[in-house]
Each structure stands twice: as structure tokens, then as C-alpha cells.
């Protein structure tokens, strides 16, 4: 029998008092802290989405209702008994609940049904009406069937109503079972396709728990099983005996190839998702199962007239990272790279919160933003769901320039080169990056830098300090102007410094062959030598003033 793995389970047990006394309630919030909570939804981990959802519940909570927190799967791996009443039922204290939820570290299994029983046991002293709000995206990983347990509690006389939210549930069988829990206890079923609609659905579920009428999205009667006519069932697990994978719609692929003496032959068919269901012709196959960066082959036979089930272990684990910028919180605009411990490339991801499905083994994760980079070695075992926390030392340097202290702005032809501060005045600093934008923005590790700003032949060198998590905005004065030179077609333009050196030589600046040329130069005196096509040569001294344009015209 399939069982449901929840993403988040919130159980609210409301206790009333005598009619003459103001009504209060006792409640236990049960939070799933199993390893699957490091999975992703809308670019954030599920545990992050769960914390946000809990905040939305706390904001709507009645101050007169007492509240406790229960969690499971947060202390040990593979333990169906890992259920803890983290915060006993007491006067409503939202900060205490938030702090406890923030401290949960997902790692274990999902004993949802036993958690329902544990909550009932914890509140057995009260015979008041009990309401459960259940949010789930998959399948229970321990032995009891939560639908059967819900019905059992109802039959035992516990005033038990379950309002159920299916969070991004792709498996139609899983959705039918979630709807069954709500239907068996007289509750409502609600769909939530993403993190924002989860908060909305939770709000409606709280309304239902408080006695308001909410329309259920489940049919009054169970619908027929949509995969009843399929003769193939595919179940994938990260590790033998582990949880069935149920957090994907099409990320997991099953391709069928003819078996040629146990070797992979011609492609026959493909199906996607987990669990998978398809109609496959009877015969012997090699089935290739691909999930993330894991690919495995399995021999398999589809038997005529039977439902053939392939239950595979991928010997893999989930890896995410909640990377942050030192002193500034979450990262964005980054690249994550995974290499093996032998430095073989595996994968790249550009999401703020990456998720990798990797074969068990030893790896190195690199986080890069601009010129800033950090890396961490990690190991993932079969069945693991781990988070590799990383902190990146990065700040932003935004550079622009003016021709003079009073302008104008350098808006084209600018080049900004960032170098490490040189060790002495002889060596040049190590190059870091170059950009050509009017406002050039660099992501750099914290520290001191040498910034070389140039336009045309005008160039100045500046110093800049970058702080991690901050933006350093600098606007430099290039102390430069522009020489506009017009010459006959076919002429050569040579530019020299006006002053001669001790050997009587001028320093060459540059040579151009255009009939019209605008040339940026640092403020100072220069000599422009024009040689026409007829070898007629003329010299034109010019004085370049910062922020101004000087014209040279040769007929």
C-alpha cells in the first residue's frame, strides 16, 4: 500500500470551556523536519517555505488559544520513533515557536501517522474537539497508513477533523490518499501549487479550524484510480529501504531498451515522474533510470497480464546549499559548481538555492559571484538529504568617472580595470577584472584594490576599499579633455607630448589615420603632427584642459 510523505504537518487541537467562560483552545503544531525538507520549492528550501508558512499561521492565531510544537525527523536518520514535543502546550508565545522552528535541522524519516497518535496522547486529558491541519507533498515513510489512522482515531470517539492541503502533489494516487484523510474525518481538502498559494491555503484551513465554512476542493466521493489500467509501476529510492522519491513531476526519467543478452539494445519507450506508471509491452528490458546527475541501469521483465513493479535504489543523495554573503544575508546572481574530490566536473547551477541529486561519494562545492569565490568539501551518502552551508566574502564596487571635477560625465569609451593592490611601487598589481560600462559594477572579495580608469589615451590610477556585503560607489575625476582633429583624407595623425626629454625626444602617444578623430587625453600640453597623403607635414601644439574640447583642423 502506498503511504503519504508530508512536507509539513500542522495539528491544531482546540479545547473549549463551559459556555459561561470565554472559549480558549489547546493546540499542537506538528512540523515535518525529515530530510526531504531540504528539497526545493520556488527557489527556496522546503524548510524555509515551512518557516514562512508557520509565520503566516502565527499571525492569524487567537491569543487566547494555547499552542505547543511537535517535530519529527529532526534528530536522527532512519528512525521512525524520532518524534518530540519540542515546545509543550502553553500560553501562546509566537517568538518561542519561531525560535524552535528555526532551530530544526531536517535529517530523518516521516512518521506522520505515529505523530498523530502522539499528539492525541499528549492531549488526552482533554475531551474537547480536535482539529488537524495537514500539509503534504508525498508519502509516509514509516509503517502506518495515515488515512487508516485518521479513520481509527475518528472511530475511537476522538472529535477529530482533518483539513488537508496537498502541496505541489503530482502523483494522482498520493492526492487521492490525501483527499481520503480529509473525507474520512469530515474535513476539507485544498490544493497548493507553490509557496504563496500554500500560505493562502493555510489561511483557509485555519478559518475552517475556527468553525468558518470553507469549500473543499476534493470530490464528495473518491474518483477512480487514474493509473489502474497501467501495467508498469516504477518506484525509485535514494537508498534501498529508504523513502520513495516523490518530490518530482518529470525530473526522474525511465527509458526502456530492448534487452540483448542483458545488454542495452534499441530504445522502446520512456516515461517520467516518481512514482511512474505506463503501459509497456510484455518482454525483457534494460531500464535506464535518470535522476539529477545520477544514472543507473536495471534489467526488468514486463509480464503479460500482470502489473509489473520496478523498485530501484539509486545509491544517491540530495545536496542543497543555503549560501549567504558575509554581513548581508542571502546570495543572488551566483554560480554553484560541483566537482568530485578528484576535481572532475559534475554540475553547475545558477539558482539562489541550488539542488543537486548526486551519486554517493566525495565532492567539492564552489560558490562564485564575480571575482569572489569560496569552496567546501563535502560527502554525500546514499539516502542523504544534506545542506552545505557556505558564506561568501563579496562586496560590490561601482565605478564611474567625470572628465573633470565639474564634469561632464564619461559616458562612452571608458575602460575600468581592477587590480590587486601591488606589493610595491615597482610591480604591477595582479589583474582581477575589466569592465567597459558607464557605471562598471564589480563583485569582489573584501579588501584594497587598485582601479585603473581610462578613456582614449587619458588614464588615472586610484585606490578603492571594498567591504563584504556593502556597495562601494566611487566617481573618479579623470582630469582629462578631448582633442577634436580634422585632417584631409589619407593623412596620418601622430600625437606626442609637448615637452622633450633630456635627450631631446618627445614621448609618442599614438597614431591615427581617420579624417576626423576625437581623442581623449589627460590635461596638459601636446604636439599633433599631421602628414598628408602628399607628404606635407605640419605641427600643431595644443593645450588640453580638463572637461573641455580643443579643435585642430588641417586643410
Question: 3-class SS at 407?
Answer: coil
User: Which domains does the chain possess?
Assistant: 8-209 (3.40.50.410), 232-314 (2.60.40.1120), 317-392 (2.60.40.10), 395-477 (2.60.40.1120), 480-553 (2.60.40.1120)
| C-alpha pair distances (Å), 448 with each of 76, 246, 387, 445 | 45, 49, 33, 9
- Number of residues assigned to the chain: 555
Query: 20 burial class (0-12, 13-18, 19+ CB within 10 angstroms)?
Result: exposed
Write phi, then psi, for 133 (nearest 5 degrees).
-115, 120
**Per-residue model confidence (pLDDT) at position 378:** 97
Smallest CA-to-CA distance from 137 within 25, 240, 224, 249 is with 249
Judge whether 305 and 229 are in contact, CB under 8 Å: no
How far apart CA 414 and CA 401 sit, in angstroms, is 8
* Beta-carbon contacts of residue 25 (< 8 Å; ≥ 6 apart): 12, 13, 14, 15, 16, 62, 64, 65, 66, 128
The neighbouring-strand residues paired with 452 are: 417, 461
Helices (runs of H) and strands (runs of E) counted in the chain: 6, 40
Smallest CA-to-CA distance from 315 within 252, 242, 248, 387 is with 242
Q: Where do runs of H (alpha helix) occur along 156-306?
A: 172-185, 195-209
How far apart CA 520 and CA 458 sit, in angstroms, is 6
Beta strands in 423-470 (DSSP E): 431-435, 440-444, 447-455, 458-466
* Beta-carbon contacts of residue 481 (< 8 Å; ≥ 6 apart): 403, 404, 520, 521, 523, 544, 545, 546, 547, 548, 549, 550
Secondary structure of 84-153 in HEC code, one letter for each residue: EEEEEEECCCHHHHHHHHHCCCCCECCCHHHHHHHHHHHCCCCCCCEEEEEEECCECCCCCCHHHHHHHH
Judge whether 246 and 5 are in contact, CB under 8 Å: yes
How far apart CA 299 and CA 257 sit, in angstroms, is 10
Write phi, then psi, for 183 (nearest 5 degrees).
-65, -40
Helix crossing, 146-155 with 112-122: angle to 10°? 30
Within a 10 A sphere around the Cβ of 358, how many other Cβ atoms?
21
**Per-residue model confidence (pLDDT) at position 139:** 64
How far apart CA 275 and CA 106 sit, in angstroms, is 23
DSSP annotation string for 223-236: PPPTTTT--EEEEE
Judge whether 335 and 350 are in contact, CB under 8 Å: yes
Instruction: pLDDT tens for the chain, 555 residues: list them.
Output: 333 334 455 554 444 433 333 445 677 787 888 777 776 777 777 788 878 888 887 887 778 777 778 888 888 877 889 999 898 878 889 999 989 988 988 877 778 788 877 777 776 655 656 677 777 776 667 766 888 887 887 777 666 777 888 877 777 777 888 888 888 888 889 887 777 887 888 778 878 877 789 999 888 887 777 778 899 999 898 988 777 787 655 689 999 999 999 999 999 999 998 888 999 999 999 999 999 999 999 999 999 999 999 999 999 999 998 888 887 778 889 999 999 999 999 999 998 889 899 999 999 999 999 999 999 999 999 988 888 999 999 999 999 999 999 999 999 999 999 999 998 888 888 999 999 999 999 999 999 999 999 999 999 999 999 999 999 999 999 999 999 999 999 999 999 999 999 999 999 999 999 999 999 999 999 999 999 999 999 999 999 999 999 999 998
Judge whether 106 and 37 are in contact, CB under 8 Å: yes
Residue given cell 584594497 in the structure block: 448
Smallest CA-to-CA distance from 329 within 195, 442, 441, 470 is with 470
Q: Which pTM was predicted?
A: 0.69
Judge whether 181 and 147 are in contact, CB under 8 Å: yes
How far apart CA 372 and CA 443 sit, in angstroms, is 7
Question: 3-class SS at 60?
Answer: helix
Amino acid at each position: 500500500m502506498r503511504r503519504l510523505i508530508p512536507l509539513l504537518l500542522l495539528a491544531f487541537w482546540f479545547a473549549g470551556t463551559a459556555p459561561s467562560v470565554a472559549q480558549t483552545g489547546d493546540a499542537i503544531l506538528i512540523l515535518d523536519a525529515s530530510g526531504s525538507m531540504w528539497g526545493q520549492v520556488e527557489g527556496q528550501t522546503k524548510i524555509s517555505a515551512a518557516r514562512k508558512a508557520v509565520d503566516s499561521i502565527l499571525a492569524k492565531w487567537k491569543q487566547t488559544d494555547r499552542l505547543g510544537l511537535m517535530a519529527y525527523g529532526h534528530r536522527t536518520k532512519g528512525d521512525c520513533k524520532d518524534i518530540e514535543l519540542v515546545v509543550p502546550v502553553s500560553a501562546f508565545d509566537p517568538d518561542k515557536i519561531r525560535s524552535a522552528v528555526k532551530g530544526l535541522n531536517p535529517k530523518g524519516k516521516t512518521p506522520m501517522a505515529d505523530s498523530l497518535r502522539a499528539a492525541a496522547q499528549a492531549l488526552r486529558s482533554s475531551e474537547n474537539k480536535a482539529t488537524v491541519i495537514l500539509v503534504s507533498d508525498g508519502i509516509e515513510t514509516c509503517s502506518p497508513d495515515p488515512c487508516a489512522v485518521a479513520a481509527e482515531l475518528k472511530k475511537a470517539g476522538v472529535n477529530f477533523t482533518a483539513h488537508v492541503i496537498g502541496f505541489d502533489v503530482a502523483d494522482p494516487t498520493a492526492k487521492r490518499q490525501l483527499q481520503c484523510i480529509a473525507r474520512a474525518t469530515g474535513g476539507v481538502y485544498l490544493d497548493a501549487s507553490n509557496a504563496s498559494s500554500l500560505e493562502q491555503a493555510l489561511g483557509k484551513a485555519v478559518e475552517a479550524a475556527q468553525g468558518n465554512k470553507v469549500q473543499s476542493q476534493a470530490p464528495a466521493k473518491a474518483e477512480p484510480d487514474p493509473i489502474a489500467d497501467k501495467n508498469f509501476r516504477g518506484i525509485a529510492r535514494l537508498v534501498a529501504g529508504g523513502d520513495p522519491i516523490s518530490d518530482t513531476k518529470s525530473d526522474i526519467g525511465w527509458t526502456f531498451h530492448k534487452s540483448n543478452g542483458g545488454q542495452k539494445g534499441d530504445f522502446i519507450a520512456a516515461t517520467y515522474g516518481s512514482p511512474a506508471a505506463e503501459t509497456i509491452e510484455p518482454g525483457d528490458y534494460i531500464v535506464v533510470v535518470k535522476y539529477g546527475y545520477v544514472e543507473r541501469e536495471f534489467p526488468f521483465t514486463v509480464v503479460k497480464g500482470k502489473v509489473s513493479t520496478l523498485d530501484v535504489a539509486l545509491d544517491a543523495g540530495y545536496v542543497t546549499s543555503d549560501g549567504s554573503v558575509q554581513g548581508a544575508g542571502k546570495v543572488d546572481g551566483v554560480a554553484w559548481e560541483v566537482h568530485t574530490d578528484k576535481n572532475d566536473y559534475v554540475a553547475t547551477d545558477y539558482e539562489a538555492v541550488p539542488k543537486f541529486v548526486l551519486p554517493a561519494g566525495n565532492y567539492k562545492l564552489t560558490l562564485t559571484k564575480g571575482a569572489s569565490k569560496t569552496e567546501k568539501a563535502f560527502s554525500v551518502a546514499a539516502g542523504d538529504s544534506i545542506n552545505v552551508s557556505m558564506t561568501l566574502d563579496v562586496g560590490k564596487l561601482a565605478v564611474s568617472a567625470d572628465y573633470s571635477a565639474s564634469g561632464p560625465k564619461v559616458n562612452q569609451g571608458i575602460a575600468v580595470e581592477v587590480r590587486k593592490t601591488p606589493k610595491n611601487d615597482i610591480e604591477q598589481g595582479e589583474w582581477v577584472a575589466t569592465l567597459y560600462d558607464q557605471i562598471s559594477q564589480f563583485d569582489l572579495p573584501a579588501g584594497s584594490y587598485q582601479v585603473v580608469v581610462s578613456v582614449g589615451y587619458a588614464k588615472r590610477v586610484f585606490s578603492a576599499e571594498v567591504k563584504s556585503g556593502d556597495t562601494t560607489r566611487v566617481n573618479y575625476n579623470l582630469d582629462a579633455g578631448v582633442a577634436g582633429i580634422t585632417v584631409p583624407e589619407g593623412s596620418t595623425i601622430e600625437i606626442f607630448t609637448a615637452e622633450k626629454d633630456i635627450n631631446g625626444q618627445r614621448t609618442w602617444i599614438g597614431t591615427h589615420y581617420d579624417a576626423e578623430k576625437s581623442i581623449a587625453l589627460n590635461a596638459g600640453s601636446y604636439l599633433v603632427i599631421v602628414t598628408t597623403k602628399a607628404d606635407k607635414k605640419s605641427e600643431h601644439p595644443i593645450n588640453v584642459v580638463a572637461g573641455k574640447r580643443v579643435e585642430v583642423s588641417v586643410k
